[in-house]
Structure 1
Amino acid sequence: MTETALPSAGRPAPDLARNLAREDFWRGMFPELTIRGRLAGTFRVRALRNEPAMRAAQRMRLEGYFQEHDEELADLAGRLSRAIERCVARKIPPVFVFLFDEAWAVFYRQHPLLEMFLGAGYQVLPDFWAWHVDPGAGEAGWRPHRDKGRRALAADGSPLSLTMWVPLTEASPLNGCMYILPANRDPVYGTADEAVQRIDFPAVRALPGLPGDFFIWNQAVLHWGAQSSPFAERPRMSMALEFQRGDIAPFNEPLLGTMPLLSFENRLRLVAKQILQYAHMYPLSPEMQALAGQVLGGEPPAVGADAAPA
């Protein structure tokens, strides 16, 4: 997973920090979004079409990633980007939008595509984030890295785990879009030398995107978020969620199931987990980290009893 090292959300007011763990606070502040609401009951996955699916499989096999477009994502992206703007204005980390059904629906719509790569019974990993990259504040992306490296590849080179990254606003070279070194242009991809970056710079590929686009890459490819420019017209907002095969040992725990419909309490605990596990890459205020620790109470999220969406 990739993104900015400098968070836009700063130190929250003490009363706000106390409110973040209350479901009624979120329902009142974001009445246009749902928490196990009407979206959960009407959720639809995107149909898998033969030609795009074949092209995606070919690109994944050769380059380690692909890009597609889903028109219905554009509406979800608009609602979520407005919510992130409201969060940032109140110094709330954007990752809290994962409390809402709409954030999960962005990813669950691609269920048939994920199942094609990872098999029936694939699992949602407890690894996600949402970002607001502000060019006016000089924010930049995380440095080149691999999400899990070669351990995320099967012996035949097929992916054991995937990252899905979704731009909620336009992502361009000016406001810090993603960059990737395609697998077939990376001399150390999938090898024991993968920690030594040998970048053929002409092979580096920019990944600009618009709302409605989504990117999926295997977790061994080298990628990064770019430095934004002060000439960018607006911030870049985005989200990412990770997935793995269900028939292998967990890359992180607890595994969440396939398209789980999580309770508010479990979503809150998972958000707290993200704040703590990504503190080395996206440091937040001591108050926010303390709140995350209090929410978890020293125990991992318990998600086994939650239901899957209809």
Structure 2
Amino acid sequence: MTITTPSTLPVTWADLCSAAFWRSLAPQLCIGGMQSDAEAAPRQSYERLAQRLSKDGYFGDSDEQIERLAPLVGEAVKRCVAVGLPAVFAWIYDEPWACYARLRPVFAHFLGAGFKPLPAFWAWHVDPKKGETGWKPHRDNRYNSLAADGSPLSLTCWIPLSDANPLNSCMYIVPKHMDPGYSTPAGTPEPPTPVFAARALPAKPGDYLLWDQCVMHWGGPTSEFAEHPRMSMAFEFQRGDVRPIMQPFQRGEHLPAMSPWLEQKPYPSFDVRLQLVARQILQYQHMYGLSQSLADLAAYLLTAPTRDA
């Protein structure tokens, strides 16, 4: 079976199981064998970042190696979209994993040295010319993602792969101290959020945002006057000394069993990445909608044999 794409060359489902296909699609990126850059501390002091996280529920910082890698991942996103695939397939390559590996000291500072990456990640290509928007207002998690003292047990890290601004759907966040629904238990009505509390967060490649998972956030609507699509990616993490925040793929249905978290090192193998991407497509369908053809593709990739890895 082939994928209907704007490309002149058909892409078969079997092609997607071949590392050679992915290397030919974005030859400037790696699949296996990439040498990781040294891990880096933030540019701001940990004291300042901790104060921001405690009051606002999020902070932003930047990194020079992510500034170099992010446009490469953005190019992979564009090539995936050009052949009719969701942007999340860019996670087949080493470079997205390398961006987050660069920030291990930051995650360790706030979640402990034994922190765990969750099998929860995504990538976006929000196209103003198609009238697309980012994901609707939501919280990544609820009260179970906070310790008794209010400190986060889990965090989300969002990285722009292109310039993100209010015209092409930058991130919006309601700071924790301005959010009357921040600690509302799951399943109960939230009080309305004051419009003035929403904070736009323009960002560029090299920046990253980190927020606790109770924070309300969303990607804004796009404008016809935007100059280019907004591309970005996100990855979730949790403390390693507590019960898994995310039960094995609770956001998806009828998925084969897999660990509720990933290991910090090494990067997942090609076949594991392919399965993980398929699972993201299924578990995040409540955020973007899922066509039957894409659901069928994800189901196929969960069990299909890989080659040329």
Name the TM tier (shorter chain): 0.7 to 0.9
Deviations 1:220-249 (A, max 9, x none): 011111000011010000000000110111
**Corresponding residue to 1:43 among 37, 40, 43:** 37
Identity in percent: 49
Shifted more, 215-224 versus 189-198: the winner is 189-198
Residue of structure 1 equivalent to 2:165? 172
**Corresponding residue to 1:110 among 98, 103, 127:** 103
**Corresponding residue to 2:195 among 190, 201, 205:** 201
Question: C-alpha separation between the residues in 2 aligned to 1:101 and 1:154?
Answer: 33
Question: C-alpha separation between the residues in 1 aligned to 2:181 and 2:89?
Answer: 36
Contact 2:142 2:185 in 1 (8 A): no
Question: C-alpha separation between the residues in 2 aligned to 1:197 and 1:141?
Answer: 23
Contact 1:181 1:221 in 2 (8 A): yes
Q: Are residues 1:224 and 2:218 paired?
A: yes
**Corresponding residue to 1:290 among 296, 300, 305:** 296
Deviations 1:238-293 (A, max 9, x none): 00000011011112332101243211000001001001111222234423321211
Question: C-alpha separation between the residues in 1 aligned to 2:79 and 2:263?
Answer: 30
Residue of structure 2 equivalent to 1:234? 228
Contact 1:167 1:210 in 2 (8 A): yes
- 1:156 CA drift (Å): 0.5
Contact 2:144 2:245 in 1 (8 A): no
- 1:195 CA drift (Å): 4.5
Residue of structure 1 equivalent to 2:84? 91
- 1:83 CA drift (Å): 1.3
Residue of structure 2 equivalent to 1:183? 176
- 1:42 CA drift (Å): 3.8
- 1:152 CA drift (Å): 0.7
SS of the equivalent of 1:33 reads coil
Question: C-alpha separation between the residues in 2 aligned to 1:54 and 1:149?
Answer: 25
Greater RCO, CA 8 A, separation 6+: 1
**Corresponding residue to 1:263 among 251, 261, 269:** 269
Contact 1:153 1:190 in 2 (8 A): no
Contact 2:154 2:238 in 1 (8 A): yes
- 1:14 CA drift (Å): 6.4
Question: C-alpha separation between the residues in 1 aligned to 2:28 and 2:189?
Answer: 44
- 1:45 CA drift (Å): 1.0
Q: TM-score, normalised by structure 1?
A: 0.87
Residue of structure 1 equivalent to 2:29? 33
Q: Are residues 1:277 and 2:249 paired?
A: no
Deviations 1:92-151 (A, max 9, x none): 111111111101111111110100110011000000000100000000122211101221
Residue of structure 1 equivalent to 2:245? 251
Contact 1:17 1:288 in 2 (8 A): no
The structure-2 alpha-carbon separation of the partners of 1:272 and 1:70, relative to structure 1 and needing over 3 Å to count, comes to same
Question: C-alpha separation between the residues in 1 aligned to 2:42 and 2:150?
Answer: 23
One-letter identity of the residue aligned with 1:138: G
Residue of structure 2 equivalent to 1:52? 45
SS of the equivalent of 1:280 reads helix
One-letter identity of the residue aligned with 2:152: P
Question: C-alpha separation between the residues in 1 aligned to 2:191 and 2:231?
Answer: 28
Aligned residues: 286
Question: C-alpha separation between the residues in 2 aligned to 1:42 and 1:148?
Answer: 30
Contact 1:66 1:217 in 2 (8 A): yes
Following superposition of structure 1 onto structure 2, how do residues 13-32 of structure 1 map, counting pairs within 5 Å? Answer: 15-32=11-28
One-letter identity of the residue aligned with 1:97: A
SS of the equivalent of 1:261 reads coil
Deviations 1:158-217 (A, max 9, x none): 000000001110100000111011000112212337741421222211011011100000
One-letter identity of the residue aligned with 2:12: L
Question: C-alpha separation between the residues in 2 aligned to 1:247 and 1:85?
Answer: 38
Unpaired segments of 5 or more residues in structure 1?
1-9, 299-310
Q: TM-score, normalised by structure 2?
A: 0.88
- 1:72 CA drift (Å): 1.6
